[in-house]
Amino acid sequence: MFDFEIVARAGRSRAGVFTTPHGELLTPLFAPVGTQAAVKAVTPAQLQDVEASLVLANTYHLYLRPGDELIRDLGGLHQFMQWPRPLLTDSGGFQVFSLAATRRVDEDGVTFRSHIDGSEHRFTPEKAILIQENLGADIIMTLDECADPKDRLYVDGAMRRTHAWAKRCLAAKRRNDQALFAIVQGGIDPALRTASAQFISRLGTPGIAIGGLSVGESKAEMLDMLDLVTSILPEGKPRYLMGVGTPEDLIEGVRLGIDLFDCVLPTRLARHHAAFSSEGRLNLMNAAFSHDERPIDSTCDCYTCMTFSRAYLRHLIAARELLAGTLLSIHNLSSLIRLMQHLRAAILEGTLPATADALMQQWSNNAVRGIPA
């Protein structure tokens, strides 16, 4: 049910096909994030229009609201959000990590307070699996602990807990129609990352995720860890880099053999009036666009670029029309999905090195700095 076939290679890069109950995933790919069973400002039909093949939803948020049992009783997450293609849910580990002031971690699990009403809750590996089985995504994650990469002593303990929790998640899993991915941790310490990659690889899960990156370390440190980890992971399993999604990171990740990516960046940028383009990132709130009849990007064939001018989009932003966020999100999501399609095509055609270099030069003008949450 969860076969992964590598159909072409270019160095470490792979073009693959990962089969799930809700369809095939052509890798490498970028997955939009639908934190609360919705990609912000975008309908499921619009996601299909931009050729999104996989959407991520958040276990922590859906557990708190509306509740995983309610979603189960209403037919599962696919039915609940009307998304017919594959879904992935994380374990909630990163969200709990972000609640540093209100959580307590022990060897058995983590206790935390809801950001909604302050009520106390507890996640154990078994509970994380039960919630995700209730949600019913095609790809689910083991419970992990994402630690501050600068605190090596704590990272070591968090990694060991992550390993123990992964084994408990495997033992707790009951559904055969869900692929459980275990997560590599270890911060930015080469010895810890090596130990984690080796341990997680031995568990035999149908895919492997790489967590704990893009959480405060430098870009060079992140790439060094990716280079190390992907040299250790088994070749025949899909590799998922969690929460990383700038255009430059996608290109470098593909070069290093990553297959799946997700990130909130495209829709977050859209909410702050920013758009990817072949000219560089545009802030469409800028008055310079008020008479600009061109699309965001003349090389883009998304609905937004085929239909509307920069001037119109700038007007929507200035008028605080909600449509602005939808149209910019459509474009930004389409841009990253098309980027991944270009990289996949280059792997299949044997032109990846030159194509990746050209794309990196183009996308380097889209550096993302200072975008609020």
Asked whether residue 338 falls in the same domain as residue 220, the answer is no
Shared-domain flag, residues 207 and 58: yes
pTM: 0.96
Domain boundary among 210, 234, 263: 263
299 and 283 housed in the same domain: yes
pLDDT surpasses 90 at 279: no
242 shares a domain with 287: no
Is it the case that residue 92 has pLDDT exceeding 90?
A: no
178 with 136: CB under 8 angstroms?
yes
Q: Could you tell me if 329 and 367 lie in one domain?
A: yes
Same domain as 327, residue 194: no
Q: List Cα–Cα distances, 49 to 44, 45, 301, 333, 334, in angstroms.
A: 9, 6, 11, 11, 9
Q: Which among 263, 287, 312 is the end of a domain?
A: 263
Angle between helices 219-230 and 247-255 (to 10 degrees): 30
For this structure, is 259 an active site residue?
no
Q: What is the pLDDT of residues 232-278, one digit of tens each?
A: 999 999 999 999 999 999 999 999 999 999 999 999 999 999 999 98
| Domain co-membership, 312 together with 324 | yes
pLDDT of residue 368: 58
Domain of 292?
A: 265-373
> Is the model's pLDDT at 370 over the cut of 60?
no
pLDDT at residue 97, as a whole number: 74
DSSP string, 326-365: HHHHHHHHHHHHHHHHHHHHHHHHT-HHHHHHHHHHHHGG
Same domain for 359 and 269? yes
Q: Provide the pLDDT for residue 99.
A: 81
Q: What is the DSSP string of 210-222?
A: E-S-SSSS-HHHH
Number of domains in the chain: 2
- Mean pLDDT of the region 135-139: 98
pLDDT(168) > 50: yes
The band of 367, judged by pLDDT with boundaries at 50, 70 and 90, is low
- pLDDT classification of 373: cutoffs 50, 70, 90: very low
Closest-CA residue to 226 (of 203, 206, 204, 249): 249
Which residue is catalytic, options 249, 259, 262, 297? 262
271 shares a domain with 144: no
Query: Are 125 and 70 part of one and the same domain?
Result: yes
**Residue-level pLDDT at 369:** 52
Identify the CATH number of the domain in which residue 51 sits.
3.20.20.105
Average pLDDT, the chain: 95
pLDDT at 372 over 90: no
Of 68, 90, 138, 259, which is the active-site residue? 90
Same domain, 211 and 247: yes
Residues 31, 92: Cα–Cα separation, whole Å: 17
Res. 371: pLDDT tops 60: no
Let me know the angle formed at the C-alpha of 352 by 347 and 355, rounded to the nearest 5 degrees. Answer: 130
Told to judge if 90 belongs to the known catalytic residues of this protein, a careful annotator would answer yes
Using the 3D structure, point to which of 263, 283, 303 is the last residue of a domain.
263
Give the Cα separation of 239 and 355 in Å (integer): 22
Q: Quote the pLDDT of residue 260.
A: 98
Q: How many residues does the chain have?
A: 373
Q: Can you give the pLDDT at residue 94? A: 81
Per-residue model confidence as pLDDT tens digits over 97-109: 778 778 999 999 9
Q: Are residues 250 and 132 in the same domain?
A: yes
